[in-house]
Structure 1
Amino acid sequence: METIYLIGFMGAGKTTVGKILADLLGYSFYDLDEYIEKTAAQSIPEIFAEKGEAHFRLLEARALRSLPVRRAVVATGGGTAAGRGNLPYMLEKGLVVHLAGDFSRMYARAAGDGRERPLIAAKSREECFRLYQSRLPFYRKAHFSVDTTDRSPAEIARTILERLKERENGKTFPEKAERKDERGYE
């Protein structure tokens, strides 16, 4: 079976859900940001500080293409889908799942999870919201979306697994997850 790429904004739960989903499927799990840090031998904040976001995005695109394209779950960075050529690559090589949710909750998780996130550190909440809005058109091109609001990571992973089983049985996906308005609110 193909690789499953999880996309969505910072704090959507891609890494946590991805680990659970990979375990349920018996697949390998890759966190793209961690993979970049390992191969670059630098943290993402260091890459941003020393070489800038453009260099990071180049490393991200290379790393994405170096990962297996079978029997893997990949938790992408929040901006991966918006990177030049990344979304078409993922759509061609695997199944792309958008973890959709309420912006306020994702922002709070991302800002308070203890990870150094250069884009959160350098931007105000309103700037992060505009960044989120600019990425929505890319996220919405996923094969399907799963609403993460008020759901545990395990519930989200099981929902994705159910959708995968439907796909294997030849069923088409139901309409994408109900959309919040453009501001990410119910």
Structure 2
Amino acid sequence: MNNIILIGMPGVGKSTLGVVLAKVLGFQFIDADLLIQEQERKKLHQIIKEVGINGFMEIENQVNASIEAERSVIATGGSVVYCRQAMSHLKEIGTVVYLKVSLSTLEKRLGNLKRRGVILKKGQTLKDLYEERVPLYEKYADVVVDEKGRDLEECLQLLLEKLDTEVEG
């Protein structure tokens, strides 16, 4: 097991769980959204506002496709699954873990989507986005962790068990 890549909707806890997982494994933690912000010297929602959805996707694809890491937990942005080149690269350098959560849970967790840098097309709802992305998360996932009814610690334990099985299997 070299790297662990976390994918999933905004608000599933990729960064939160990722930091804890990295500590437990003795890995580095990399937040791809922060890499984008660092490269562009702007917040995600500012980048989207300035260059549009397609421009942002190009930046996201380029940044994620160029991540060179070993023994790292990488938390990606929720829209990385639209970036074929990035996803191909991430699958090559590690195990892709989909953190799955229900739409109703997401609606409770998420506040202002635009401020979070969530990519919504004109007229698109969170439900539309969820239904569009879930098949992509499932397509790229090597491991799925369903967060339903689990707190952070329980999700972490489940993920560690699944990764152990993945490594041995």
After TM superposition, is the score higher than 0.5?
yes
Give the TM-score of the pair, scaled to structure 1. Answer: 0.81
Q: Residue 111 of structure 2: SS of its match in structure 1?
A: helix
Residue pairs, 1:36-51, within 5 angstroms: 36-51=36-51
Aligned to 1:16: 16
Aligned to 1:55: 55
RMSD, aligned CA: 2.2
User: Percent identity over the alignment?
Assistant: 33
Structure-1 separation of matches of 2:60 and 2:80? 7
Aligned to 2:131: 133
* Cα offsets for 1:40-71 (capped at 9, x unmatched): 11111110111111111111112112323321
Structure-1 separation of matches of 2:12 and 2:148? 9
CA contact (8 A) 1:37 1:44 kept: yes
Give the TM-score of the pair, scaled to structure 2. Answer: 0.89
CA contact (8 A) 2:99 2:146 kept: yes
* Cα offsets for 1:127-182 (capped at 9, x unmatched): 1111111111111020011111121122212211112222232x2xxxxxxxxxxx
Gaps of at least 5 residues in structure 2 are none
* Cα offsets for 1:54-97 (capped at 9, x unmatched): 11111111211232332111111111112232322222221000
User: More displaced, 16-25 or 56-65?
Assistant: 56-65
Q: Residue 74 of structure 1: SS of its match in structure 2?
A: strand
Deviation at 1:121, TM superposition (A): 7.9
Gaps of at least 5 residues in structure 1 are 172-186
Aligned length: 168
Q: Residue 30 of structure 1: SS of its match in structure 2?
A: strand
Aligned to 2:156: 157
CA contact (8 A) 1:96 1:143 kept: yes
* Cα offsets for 1:7-59 (capped at 9, x unmatched): 11111111111111111111111111111111111111110111111111111
Structure-1 separation of matches of 2:88 and 2:8? 15
CA contact (8 A) 1:111 1:120 kept: no
